[in-house]
Amino acid sequence: MGSVPPRLLVVEDDDHIRTALRWALEDEGYLVEEAVDGEDACRQVAAAPPDLMIVDLMLGGVDGFAVVREVRLRHDLPIIVVSARADTHDIVGALEAGADDYVTKPFQVKEITARLRALRRRAGAGSRAGAGQPGPREVVLDRSAEAPLVLCEERGTVHRGDRQLHLTLTEFRLLCELAAAPGRVLSRQDLLRRVWEHGFFGDERIVDVHVRRLRTKVERDAGDPRIVVTVRGLGYRLDPQ
């Protein structure tokens, strides 16, 4: 028997766009489900969380920002936001709400499918890394605290003491890339290439937003980061404590 196709929820109130996405994504092997508004999307996710989501920002009633925030309260699934609005405020707002990626309308469907493939590759990288090896390797990122911060890329986990931290896929891959080069500065373009693969229409703000979100989860004081530090004018560096 073949593998079960990934379930993908498309949240879009434009019938033409939603139908075009469905046809293209079904051709890519996804099991596509649809929601025409934010309320419907939240109900479907609560009943049976999908594997991935595509969410339009400008929905009637509960908008896409609220949908992403609601999903992020309980789930770490990859989310791509689409919108006709390319304003900096909207892009940053969507990413800070918890989106992994942002695509502006009008878009080519092949751009969406390429980004979804990149997200799925990143999701599978950790599970493949430990196959056939004697045991997962744990990296202690902060041993100075009473509860140490431990990353295990093979298991796809980050723990602060006995408590597992719930990072999104993008936050986890970002932490892994920084942890792979401790003490070394990685530029925003380096991180775009390594984490997002396809880049993000040349926009480095996506890195800054995800670093801010990552710090709220791994730093003891996100306002005074000691683990993921900014090197002004150059990029970011991971300093194990």
Same domain, yes or no, for 92 and 144?
no
Same domain, yes or no, for 15 and 65?
yes
Same domain, yes or no, for 72 and 164?
no
Q: Which of 81, 101, 125 is the last residue of a domain?
A: 125
Mark residue 161 as left, alpha or beta (left: phi above 0; alpha: psi -120 to 50; beta: remaining): left
CATH number of the domain enclosing 52: 3.40.50.2300
How far, in Å, CA of 191 to CA of 130, rounded? Answer: 23
For 228, the domain range is 133-238
How far, in Å, CA of 37 to CA of 56, rounded? Answer: 9
Task: Identify the CA nearest to 113 among candidates 2, 8, 3.
Answer: 8
Residue 217 is assigned to a structural domain of this protein: yes
Q: Which of 125, 148, 174 is the last residue of a domain?
A: 125
Residue 230 is assigned to a structural domain of this protein: yes
DSSP 148: -
Show the CA angle centred on residue 31, arms to residues 26 and 33, nearest 5°.
Answer: 100
β-strands 139-142, 101-104 pairing = unpaired
pTM: 0.75
Q: Which of 125, 155, 185 is the last residue of a domain?
A: 125
Same domain, yes or no, for 165 and 81?
no
Same domain, yes or no, for 119 and 65?
yes
How far, in Å, CA of 117 to CA of 231, rounded? Answer: 31
The number of domains in the chain is 2
Residue 46 DSSP SS3: helix
- pLDDT tens track, the chain, 241 positions: 457 889 999 999 999 999 989 999 999 899 999 999 999 999 999 999 999 999 999 888 889 999 999 999 888 888 999 988 777 788 888 888 888 888 888 888 888 888 888 777 766 654 444 444 445 678 889 887 678 999 988 888 899 988 989 888 889 989 999 999 999 999 998 998 888 765 555 567 788 989 999 999 999 898 999 999 999 989 999 998 8
